[in-house]
Amino acid sequence: MEKLLTVPQVSELFSVSQSLVYKWVHYDLIPHVKIGTLVRFRESELDRWLKNKTHRGRLSYKIPLAIL
């Protein structure tokens, strides 16, 4: 069975405040597991979630004239 992470561990992992992690949970923005009143996170799901949040840059068909 995969080890579950706590809110303090996730906040440290992502370098954000614990209150922000709780807000993400409240608005269902981050994958989590609720065990009674406890909130836990699967590391594999957080990795997948983070990969989906990665931006590779913007595609733009409008090139500023100053560049040309």
pLDDT digits (tens, 9 = 90+) for 52-61: 887 666 665 6
Amino acid type, 59: L
Query: What pLDDT, in 10s, does the model give residues 2-33?
Result: 899 999 999 999 999 999 999 999 999 999 99
- Calculate the alpha carbon distances from 57 to 26, 53, 60, 62 in Å: 29, 12, 9, 14
The mean pLDDT of the chain is 87
Q: State the average pLDDT over residues 29-55.
A: 92
End-to-end CA distance of the chain: 56
- What was the pLDDT predicted at 56? 65
Please name which of 38, 43, 44 lies closest in space to residue 25, comparing C-alpha atoms: 38
Quote the radius of gyration of the chain (alpha carbons, Å).
17
